[in-house]
Structure 1
Amino acid sequence: MPPDHQAEQLAPLLTAEGWALLNSLGPYREEDALAISARLRKAGHAPELVSAVLSQARLRLRAETKFGEFSRHMLFTRAGLEQATRLNVAARHARRFVDAGVQRVADLGCGLGSDAMAMASLDLDVTAVELDETTAACATVNLMPFPHVRVVHADAQSVPLEGIDAVWLDPARRTTTTSGTTRLWDPEEFSPPLSFASDLADRGLPVGVKLGPGLPHDSVPDSCEAQWVSVDGDVAEVALYFNALKRPSVRRAALVIAGDSASELVAETDFDGGTVASVGPLEGFLYEPDGAVIRAGLVAELADRLGGHLVDPHIAYICAPRLAQTPFARAYRVLEVRHYNVRALRQWVRDEGISTLDIKKRGMAVTPDELRKLLLAGQGKAPRKSPHKRATLVLTRIGEDRVAAVVEPV
C-alpha cells in the first residue's frame, strides 16, 4: 500500500468517531465484510470512514497470530504488521535488557511498537523512535497504555542517546513505493544500516538488532552473538546481541519455540568452525532439522547430539540408527530408499493405492506440488487396496545420485 494511501486509511480512525466505530465492531470475520459495510453506510457513516474501518479490522484479524487479544485495541499498517515482532518473541528480547541490568532503552525503528510494549511491560523506560509518520502514529496509539514510553517521530540515526543505557534496533527492511513494498537484502540498505548498529556497539553500548532470518553468515559482525528464532516451525528472525546483551559463551544459537515451550541449541564456535559431522547411509531414522537450526549452521551439532550422521555433507538431513526425542528436528522412520525416477514412482503410487502423497525435498530442483499432481494423475480411476492411503516421500541428493526415500512420520 503506497504511503499516502496508508495515511488516508489511517486518518479517519484518529478521530473520536472513527476510533469508537472501529472498536465497536468486535471480533471481525471476512465473510461478514459486505454486511458490515452495508450496515455502517446505512447508519450514515461516510464511505471513506467505512473503508478505513474495514481495512483496519482486516489487519487486526491478521495481527492476532502475533499479538493475540492485544490486536483488538491496536492500529496497524500492512508493512508494519509484516515486520512486527511476535509478542512472545519480543518478551524474550526485553528479558535480555532486564538481565543486563539496563533501565533506559532507545528502540530505534520501533515500527508498530511490539518490542517497546514488551520492554515497558518489564518496567523499562523506553524511547521509541520511528521515521515513517503513519507508522509512528500507530505506535503512539499502541503504546498509550504504557506511561514509561515516549514515541518520537524522527530518523533513528539522528536521535541523541545521552542518558540511554542500551539500544534496540529493528531496521526497516523494505522500501515502499507507489506500487507497493519491496524487500531489501543488503544489510547496508536497511534503515538504519547494520553498520550503524556496529558503530553503536563499538562505543560500548549494549545493542540488540532484529534482522530477517536470511542474513548471510558473512554479514554477521564478529563481536556479537547471533540467535535465530523459529516459532511453531516458522523461522521468524535472527537477533544480534552486542556487549552486555551477548552471552559470553555463545556465538550462534537456534531458539525453537513451539506453543508454550522453548528449547535452544548453542555453539561457542564461529560459523566456519565447530563440529564436523560424519556422512553415512540413508537408513534408520531420518531427521529434518528445524529451520532455525539450519540457519544457525548447527546441523552438525544436532547430528552429534542425536548420535547420527548426514546423508550428504551439503544437505541438511540427518540419519541415526535409533529414535531420539528432540525439539530441534522432525523424525521419520525410513521404510525404503528408491532411485528418483518419475515413471517408477508413479507406478509405485498406483501399485500401493496411494491417494494422499506428502513430498518433502532438499537439494533437488523439484517442485513438490507439481510432482504430486504428476504422480497421482489418474489414480482416481484405479482400484485401491485400502481407502485414503497416505504416504510420504523425501527427495534428496546423495553425492551425484538423486533418491526418493519412503518414510513415515514418527
Structure 2
Amino acid sequence: MVVRLDVKTAHALVSDDVIMSLEMFRHSNEPEMRINATFTGMHGKKIGGAMLDLRMLRHRANQKFLLGQDMFFTRALLEQASSEAVAEYRTQRFVEAGYTSIVDACCGCGSDAITLARAGITVEAYDINEITTIFATKNAQVCGVSDKLSVHLADCTEIDLPDGPIMLDPARRKGSKRIINPELWSPSPDAVAEMIKGRPAACLKLSPSVDLDILLELFPKPDEIEVISYRNEAKEMVFWYGELASGVERRATIVSHSEAATPDLLLQTYAGDEHSQAETASELGTYFYTPNKALLRSGLIGKLAAELGLKNIDPHIAYLTGDEAISNPFLDCMKIMGYDSFDPRKIRALMRKHKVGSIEVRKRGISESVPSITKRFLPKSYGDKRCVFIATRIGDSHVGILAELIK
C-alpha cells in the first residue's frame, strides 16, 4: 500500500540514516514484507512504508535516470519526469542558443533542471509543493549540481520570476490519476501565457496524448511544435517559443542511445512547415508502413508520404502503402503476405498457409483488444514463422493484413 507522504516524512527520507538503510537493501532479494518489517523496525511504520515505496519506484527510475537508484520522487513525480535522454536532447537547444541561466517554473523532482545544470546552465527552479522541493533539492545534490541549481518553494503564478528564458512543465497528475483536461493543469494555460509573455525564449512541455488542436486553442501559439519519441513511444509534445525555435513550424524527433559502453545520444529528426493529408490509395500495394508516433502526432505524415511516393490506406487511418520497400527511421516497412476480411476463419487459413507460429498485433480503427485479437485469430501455432498482423479498417470494411517486417 502506498504511504501518503507528508513534509515530515519527506524530510526523513532524505536524511543520512534513511539513505544508509536504503543502500543496505538496494540489491536485496528478500521478500518485500521482510524488507518492510526491517525498515519499520529501524525507522517506524510510516517512514518504513515510505522507504519501501521509494525503493520500488527506484527500480522503475533506472529506466529514466542514470542515478535513479539514488534519487527521490513520488509516483506522480516519476511518471511526469522526462527521461534523461529526452531532457538531454532538449537541453541542447538552450546551449546552442547561448543561454547561461534559465528559470524552471514548475520543476517537479528536478529532472529537467538537473540536466540543464549539468550542461553548465544556472537554473532557478520553483515548485508549489513543499515535498517536491525537498526531493528536487536532494536530487540536485545526488547528481552533483547543487552549485548550479537552486530550488525555491513558491507558486510561480504569484511571484515575480527572474527575467530570461523559461522552462514550463505544467503538472498533469493529481496523485496517481492523470488529468486529461489541460485547463485543469497547474499552472493553467492562461497562467502559462502570462509567464511566457515578454521573454526571449520559452520551452513548454505538454502531453502528446492530448489533441494538438486543443493545445493550440488553449496555449500561446508556438513558433515551433516538436513531438519527441523515445523507446517507440511519443513522450512529449514541446512548444518552442522565440530564440529556442529552429525556424520550422513542425518537427518529429526520435531520441535513442548508442550501444557503446558510454552511450552517445542518437537523433533522427524530420521537419516541415506543412500539415498535409496523404493521398488515399485505391488498393493496397506490395508494402505496408506504420508510422512512428512522433511523426503521426506532429502532423507531418502527409508531407513525408508525398516525398516518398506513399499513400494512405484510408483517409482516417494513418497507415501507408506503396509498391517499393523504403527504409526510413520514421516508418516500419512490411511486405504484405496476404489480407482478407476481419474474419477469424479466413485469417486462420492465411496463417496456416504461411506457417505462422506467433504474431505481433498492430491495430487502428478496431476497438477489440490486442490479447483478444491474438487469441481469436491465432489460437494455436501453425509453424515457426513470426509475422505482423494488422487489424484495421479500409473504408467501411474491417480487414486483417498479414505481413513480414523488413528490418
Deviation at 1:73, TM superposition (A): 2.0
Q: Counterpart of 2:183 in structure 1: which amino acid?
A: E
The answer (yes or no) to whether the contact 1:306–1:320 under 8 Å persists in 2 is: no
Q: Counterpart of 1:235 in structure 2: which amino acid?
A: A
Deviation at 1:321, TM superposition (A): 1.5
The answer (yes or no) to whether the contact 2:14–2:135 under 8 Å persists in 1 is: no
TM-score (norm. length: structure 1):
0.88
The residue aligned with 1:293 is 295
Instruction: Give the Cα separation in 1 of the matches to 2:293 and 2:395.
Output: 23
The residue aligned with 1:159 is 159
Instruction: Give the Cα separation in 1 of the matches to 2:375 and 2:9.
Output: 42
Do structure 1's residue 321 and structure 2's residue 323 form an aligned pair? yes
SS state at 2:317 partner:
coil
The residue aligned with 1:233 is 232
Instruction: Give the Cα separation in 1 of the matches to 2:76 and 2:375.
Output: 35
Q: Could you say if the C-alpha distance between residues 352 and 327 of structure 1 is closer, same or farther in structure 2, counting changes exceeding 3 Å?
A: closer
Deviation at 1:245, TM superposition (A): 1.0
The residue aligned with 2:386 is 390
The residue aligned with 1:407 is 403
Instruction: Give the Cα separation in 2 of the matches to 1:101 and 1:150.
Output: 20
The residue aligned with 1:332 is 334
Q: Counterpart of 1:149 in structure 2: which amino acid?
A: L
Do structure 1's residue 115 and structure 2's residue 120 form an aligned pair? no
Q: Within 5 A, what are the aligned runs for 1:84-99?
A: 84-99=81-96
Deviation at 1:6, TM superposition (A): 5.5
Q: Within 5 A, what are the aligned runs for 1:200-211?
A: 200-211=195-206
For this pair of structures, how many residues does the alignment match?
392
Deviation at 1:275, TM superposition (A): 6.1
The answer (yes or no) to whether the contact 2:291–2:330 under 8 Å persists in 1 is: yes
Deviation at 1:194, TM superposition (A): 2.5
The residue aligned with 1:376 is 378
Q: Counterpart of 2:221 in structure 1: which amino acid?
A: D
Q: Which moved more, 1:223-232 or 1:287-296?
A: 223-232
Q: Could you say if the C-alpha distance between residues 394 and 275 of structure 1 is closer, same or farther in structure 2, counting changes exceeding 3 Å?
A: closer
Q: Which moved more, 1:197-206 or 1:55-64?
A: 197-206
The residue aligned with 1:264 is 269
Q: Could you say if the C-alpha distance between residues 405 and 103 of structure 1 is closer, same or farther in structure 2, counting changes exceeding 3 Å?
A: same
Do structure 1's residue 213 and structure 2's residue 208 form an aligned pair? yes
Deviation at 1:149, TM superposition (A): 1.1
CA RMSD of aligned residues (A): 2.4
Instruction: Give the Cα separation in 1 of the matches to 2:7 and 2:279.
Output: 53
Deviation at 1:115, TM superposition (A): 0.6
The answer (yes or no) to whether the contact 1:12–1:52 under 8 Å persists in 2 is: no
Q: Counterpart of 1:253 in structure 2: which amino acid?
A: R
Q: Could you say if the C-alpha distance between residues 331 and 46 of structure 1 is closer, same or farther in structure 2, counting changes exceeding 3 Å?
A: same
TM-score (norm. length: structure 2):
0.88
Q: Counterpart of 1:205 in structure 2: which amino acid?
A: P
Q: Within 5 A, what are the aligned runs for 1:233-252?
A: 233-248=232-247, 250-252=248-250
Cα offsets for 1:112-142 (capped at 9, x unmatched): 0011001111111111101111111100101
Instruction: Give the Cα separation in 2 of the matches to 1:40 and 1:217.
Output: 46
- Out of 62, 65, 71, the residue aligned to residue 67 of structure 1 is 65
The residue aligned with 1:150 is 150
State percent identity of aligned pairs.
28
Q: Counterpart of 2:347 in structure 1: which amino acid?
A: L
The residue aligned with 2:178 is 183
Q: Counterpart of 1:366 in structure 2: which amino acid?
A: E
Q: Counterpart of 2:210 in structure 1: which amino acid?
A: L
The answer (yes or no) to whether the contact 2:229–2:235 under 8 Å persists in 1 is: yes
Cα offsets for 1:314-333 (capped at 9, x unmatched): 21111122112211011111
The residue aligned with 2:123 is 126
The answer (yes or no) to whether the contact 1:253–1:265 under 8 Å persists in 2 is: yes
Structure 1 unaligned regions, length at least 5? none
